[in-house]
Structures are given as structure tokens and as C-alpha cells.
């Protein structure tokens, strides 16, 4: 069954960073798929908020991705400059999600047996 391994996602994130010049804090963490395969989960830590943004395919083999904004325990109070910086971070996350979707179209990676 096709999927994106953690290794593949790390390569794609590195390529995105090299091309975009942003997202140096983005990482891929282990996420076990339903069949035990390491499918990876992309995490975008936010500097100007207390949470992170997580990205993953809608399901194994799917080219469309979903973005999850981690809930914040506290209210975030920002200056206009800090809000702009947060908007830039979210823009990078959106660009990365679109990049991962584009790379996922037609990508086939067999699970190791």
C-alpha cells in the first residue's frame, strides 16, 4: 500500500526548507500507521503562540493533507509586530502543506515487509 515514510517526509521538508529558506524548526516525528508502518507526522512549532501545527495525510495513500492547530491553554496577547510574525509562521505552514500535497500526488512507496 502506498504511504509516505518518515524518511521521505524528512527529505521533502528539507527540500522545502532549501527552496523556501524558511521552516528550519519544522520536524517529522514518528507516527505509527494502522498497519504498524512509520508514516510520519509533520510538526511546525510556533514561536509566537504556545502551540504547534501538525500535518498528516487524510489517510494512508491520500494526496490531500489535514492541518491541526494544537489548542492553547492560555490566551495569547500579541503586539501588531508579533501578530504579523505569527501570520508569517502560519503562511509557511500553509505553503508546506500545499508542497506536501503536490509531492504526494502519484507518490508510491511500498511498505517494507
Domain assignments of the chain as residue spans, ordered by start: 6-104
Question: Residues 1-22: pLDDT tens digits?
Answer: 446 788 889 999 999 999 988 8
CATH 3.30.310 correct for 6-104: yes
Please check the confidence at residue 39 and state whether its pLDDT lies above 70: no
Q: What are phi and psi of 25, to 5 degrees?
A: -90, -5
User: Residue 52: which H helix or E strand, with range?
Assistant: strand 52-57
What predicted TM-score, i.e. pTM, was given to this entire model? 0.84
Torsion of Cα atoms, 16 then 68 then 1 then 30, to 10°: 70
3-class DSSP string for 56-93: EECCCCCCCEEEEECCCCCCCCCCHHHHHHHHHHHHHH
Amino acid at each position: 500500500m502506498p504511504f509516505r515514510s518518515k524518511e521521505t517526509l524528512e527529505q521533502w521538508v528539507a527540500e522545502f526548507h532549501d527552496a523556501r529558506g524558511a521552516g528550519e524548526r519544522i520536524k517529522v516525528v514518528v507516527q505509527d500507521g494502522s498497519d504498524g508502518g512509520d508514516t510520519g507526522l509533520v510538526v511546525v512549532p510556533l514561536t509566537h503562540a504556545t502551540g504547534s501545527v501538525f500535518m498528516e495525510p487524510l489517510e494512508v495513500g491520500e494526496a490531500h493533507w489535514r492541518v491541526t492547530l494544537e489548542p492553547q491553554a492560555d490566551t495569547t496577547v500579541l503586539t501588531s509586530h508579533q501578530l504579523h510574525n505569527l501570520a508569517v509562521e502560519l503562511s509557511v505552514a500553509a505553503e508546506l502543506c500545499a508542497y506536501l500535497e503536490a509531492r504526494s500526488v502519484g507518490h508510491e512507496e511500498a511498505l517494507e515487509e
